[in-house]
Structure 1
Amino acid sequence: MKTAAPASQAAGMLTDAVVQKIDMAGGVIVLKHGDIPNLAMPPMTMGFDVADRKMLDQVKAGDKVKFHVEVMKGKPTVTHLEAAR
């Protein structure tokens, strides 16, 4: 099973975003994000699964964050999430 990426690995590929909504029950975070180079994804607002639901306890709607996303089980999934500084 793939787990969350180590901070050192994800740190070089973080994308800025603002949390729009959190669905604790579904394990989904909705982010308004910038370009995601590793997925060739332009800026947009969309929901992402999270690799570890504990990440959702650390943020709330309106928070500025940095995140990393990988395709897991065919879905873009947040593997690293931290508060923006």
Structure 2
Amino acid sequence: MVVDGYSRMTLGDIASDAVDLVECALDDLRNRGEVREGIDSHTLATICFGSYSAAFLRGDSDREDLAEKVAATLWPGIAVVHT
């Protein structure tokens, strides 16, 4: 959105950019053989972003290790097992 000649991002724009960033990271991991083929990277990225949104809306004060907790929860289900 542009207001008075300045570009202003909406909350929707910010959310979309955040999901896109995580989705690209997941796609890169898949391309490197670290994440299983066939995962829905957009849905997983949305889940990751949703965890941050929920923590913020709940007013959680301890969000410092949230990324690690989300990754530790999701990783076993999406990672390629190297034998």
TM-score, normalised via structure 2 length: 0.22
Which structure shows the bigger proportion of residues in strand conformation? Answer: 1
Which structure shows the bigger proportion of residues in helix conformation? Answer: 2
Larger radius of gyration between Structure 1 and Structure 2: 2
TM-score, normalised via structure 1 length: 0.21
